[in-house]
Amino acid sequence: MSFQDTLRDLRELDLSELSFENIGSWPMVVKVLFWLAAFVLVLLLGYWYTIADLRARLAGAEGREQQLKQEFSDKAFKAANLDALRKQMEEMEVSFGALVAQLPSDTEVPGLLEDITNKGLEAGLEIKSIKLEPEQVKEFYIELPISIVVSGGYHDFGTFVSGIASLPRIVTLHDFSISPNKDGPSLTMSISAKTYRYKDA
């Protein structure tokens, strides 16, 4: 049968005459087309229910593989640098101990106030007031605010601030304001100093 005959048979075919109860009597061309369509349908269904699921599982496994590779790489890096990390940890403990040693205990606060007073007097300032404020409890430490009011010259203030910065204990300065005195050429400086105490708990 030639291709032209096949086309002619398809044009002359009446689909209403085809019955699934009598597939054997269908023309050969129709049988071939039907089985081709059935084969393609089976392939599509097989892909949908089997291969697509496998591809999804494969994609998940590939993602998990990348995650495991990254974890392995991180652990391998840590293992290779374990000695260096231990040495760094020891150095950090020493540094931490040195910093904690700079934090005053409760009994050292009066001595710190005396040191601040002496630095003010050495700078040529008049100490108007030094007042302890309520403690501020933080996560790892306790803040001890100190309100300071001094009177003197502008350059004397700089000497005072430098003197406090040179104290062996950690003291930070915050929220300063400078205003002229009404009764003379000198200035008044109000400043908040904060020292810190390690929270033992």
pLDDT, tens only, 58-84: 888 888 888 999 998 888 888 888 888
Give the residues of the chain that fall short of pLDDT 70.
1-30, 100-107, 200-201
Does the reported pTM lie above 0.75?
no
Q: What is the pLDDT of residues 21-42, one digit of tens each?
A: 565 555 666 677 777 888 888 8
Segment holding 187, helix H or strand E: strand 187-198
Q: What is the pLDDT of residue 9?
A: 54
Q: How far apart are the first and last CA of the chain?
A: 98
Distance (Å, rounded) from C-alpha 195 to C-alpha 51? 69
Using an 8 Å Cβ cutoff, are 151 and 187 in contact? yes
Q: What is the pLDDT of residue 129?
A: 92
Distance (Å, rounded) from C-alpha 164 to C-alpha 127? 14
Q: What is the pLDDT of residue 75?
A: 87
Q: Which CATH class is domain 103-198?
A: alpha beta
Residues sharing a CB contact under 8 Å with residue 18, sequence separation 6 or more, in sequence order: 26, 30
Q: What is the pLDDT of residue 20?
A: 56
Q: What is the pLDDT of residue 174?
A: 92
Q: What is the pLDDT of residue 3?
A: 47
Q: What is the pLDDT of residue 13?
A: 52
Q: What is the pLDDT of residue 25?
A: 59
Domain boundaries, the chain: 1-80, 103-198
Residue 62: half-sphere exposure toward Cβ, Cα within 13 Å: 6
Using an 8 Å Cβ cutoff, are 112 and 197 in contact? no
